[in-house]
Amino acid sequence: MAGLVSNRKNWNGTLCLPGTHSKWVQVADNQVTAFQTYMTGELFAVCKRATVLQHSVRTDAFSIDVFEETVKNILQHPEHAAAQVFTVRAKDLLAPTVPADAGSRLSGILIAMELASIRAKWTFDTVTLVGDPALCQRYRQALRLTGVSTETADAKALTIAGLTAARHSHVIA
């Protein structure tokens, strides 16, 4: 956040840092005006490793079609999200699916739940994504389905810029 603000003077916008604990930040006049954290990545990891879903989510392979279909469904009916989590296992039991489908479905459910929550509270036209490129791509796809445009910023470069700005803002005796 500090790196982005130091690189873009008088920047106003929404920043999303997807990861284990996704962070959403709104900035106006170089000040954080809203901040929200979601455990989306951690919930995905727990479901994949320590629930009945571990029998279905067995690979990191990804299906964009399954992901997008799931995101659309959850965004239209977020009240069904918790029930849809079990469908990841049920679909695999009833008709074994392509290995990529289960993880893509679970990812779509969880990211769509996050987006449904944040868009109910905030308004934005563009979101700046910073983080792992593959995860940012999932968020980009999901946000596109809501009509929100995105841009990405290099996490390493912003970290260096933020540390540099912090260094210059303090006088060391």
Per-residue pLDDT tens for 97-124? 788 999 999 999 999 999 999 998 888 8
CB-based contact 139:16 (threshold 8 Å):
yes
Pairing of strands 22-28, 13-17: antiparallel
> CA-CA distance, 77 to 162, in Å (whole number)?
39
Question: Per the structure block, which two tokens stand in for 106?
Answer: 């679970």
> 173 falls in which pLDDT band (50, 70, 90)?
very low
Model confidence pTM above 0.95 = no
pLDDT digits 0-9 by tens, 46-96: 999 999 999 999 999 999 999 999 999 999 999 999 999 999 999 988 987
Rg (CA), the chain: 18
Phi and psi at 118, nearest 5°, equal: -70, -35
Query: Which of 57-66, 120-129, 153-162: highest mean pLDDT?
Result: 57-66
Q: Kindly compute the dihedral angle of the four CA atoms of residues 130, 133, 139, 144, in this order, to the nearest 10 degrees.
A: 100
- The type of residue at 7 is N
**C-alpha neighbours within 13 Å on the C-beta side of residue 21:** 3
Closest CA to 120 of 41, 47, 9, 34: 34
